[in-house]
Structure 1
Amino acid sequence: MSETISPTFTFVKSGIYYFSRRIPTELIHHYTSPRIAFSLRTRSTRVAEARARRAADQLDEYWFHLRSQSKELPGKHMLRLQRDPRAATASVPEVDAVSSSITLSEGMALYLKHKGAGRPVTFHRAAERTCGYVIDACGDKPLDAYSRADANAFRDSLIERGLAGSSMTRVFGTVRSIINFAASEQGIAMNNPFAGVYYDRDAGVSDRLPVPTTALRKLQQECHLLDDDLRWLVALYLASFERRPKLAPLPMAVKNEKL
């Protein structure tokens, strides 16, 4: 059997997967075309299969309600007559619009695949942790389904977690980067709802006080008393630190050595 068979309800055109499904005959009068077709905006068979299945499930649900409207309700003759002549019949429950956008988790995978190559593990963990925060607060939605209300709910959840303003700035920056990159890669035109969200950037942020000069000099004296190579290296570093406070950190070997 060929390994290039497209997933159900899809076809490939110029390397891009498309969703295509024939509208049932009894429901054609609800549409302007006998077939629904749109781009799934992906070249990946796995992603196309997931999106096509999601779109098909949404259509099945909506078509079920359309069919229910046209059928005779069982036991209708036993219903009480409505006293209010203006009362309307039961409306069809709302069904989420079919979206061809990738979800946030899919966007994160795409982001890490291209942007995470050669980056440290902390880069990957930050992206995964940030998207986990969004999914916990708002759900794993298609990128173009997120709204400003979702972004505000995400902000409130970060505040409840006790994140400082500086940490929230980093988290929002990561979310914006992932969404912007994934949307650009997939050709999705959208306004990023996580941009321009207000929060107190100074909340929980405190200035770090410098090490007192007396403490530095006491440490230098201890280094002179012990009088070995590592202690002299630390003493020289501390002497330079007094002149230029913003120096590179001590080498790891010196840090691990007990003074």
Structure 2
Amino acid sequence: MSHKFPHTTIRSGTYYYNRRVPRHVVEAFGMSAVQVSLGKKSDEVGPLAAALTGALNELWAADPVHPVCIQLLLARLKPQTLTLADCMEQYLALRSIHEKPCRLAIRSLIQICGNRPVDRYTRRDARALVDHLLSLGNKTATVRRRLQSLHAVFEYGLLEMEADKRNPFCRVPIPREGHDIKTRETFTFDQLRAIYGEALCSNKDTRLILPILGETGARLAEIVGLRWQDVDLNAGTIIIRPHAMRPLKTRGSERLVPLVGIGLRAMTMLSHMSRDHEFVFPRWVRADRVVATHASNTLNKVLHKRYGDLTCHCFRHTLRDRLRDAEAPVELVDQIGGWHHAGGVGTSYGRGYSVDVQRKWLEKVSIRNISYSNSL
């Protein structure tokens, strides 16, 4: 039975492509006729038959003509459908990035719009997500990060699908963006002295995280996820590097950091508590991950009782201010904290500052003359 689509017939509800090969290329092409099933979906048959006809015309007009596998050629010509969830998995498999922000963004979008093919999402969906995230109380900076993650995933997906469509998450406006920014406060020297003294006196492993944070400027997850193989007490250094249980936030986060003063003393105390374990803080290790958020909640509750809105992350900002006040070079400060360099490509050339130079500047700002107290 013939059909309205060129070179197609239909039998028992299935469409077939049936076309003779031109005589002058039969020998080179390896067959006298192309016969292949196009499936049962009538809305897909026309474009697929037209694409196959065009591809065959090009193959037969080539000089010389080469044989091809018709099934593989047809598979390549079929429209690619890539759902958002599948697109995210492919994207993450190709990128060495921290997966959590991306997964949170995709999960939020799927919750309100469903898991659809990537090219089916619209600008209206992007605006709906912004409204949804803001209604949950998210800061505009958080919403922007979610949009950036989605923009990257959609950019990948639309390119893979060869979709002629603008990325719906490109330049999405956020109402009153930036107006809810709250400047993060920093600790005073007196507060640091008190916190460090109380932590050392407490003899509690979790509390000892605080002086290490304060004297390295590291992120909480970077310290909570340390293994003893990352610590060299003799050299007075720690290596912050990714592992299966705790990835890092960025590629530039991997670094060697000196331990000085109270930070070194706290790590030495920890060596007597957990040296028999692989991890420095085994209580925050689960079967498949390090639960740094749990440690953060515990420590932030302790800090909140005495210091209001100050949190564990404020130690990181505080150390940057301390080094800035000591007139430490910006590149060195960035290197110590694993911050992104703001000075352009040239700042990433070479090995960076040696550990001895980093130690010299950290010792200049290290906290001394602490008083021991267990009141925290």
For normalisation by structure 1, the TM-score amounts to 0.49
The two structures have a TM-score, normalised by structure 2, of 0.35
Higher relative contact order, structure no. (Cα contacts within 8 Å, ≥ 6 residues apart): 2
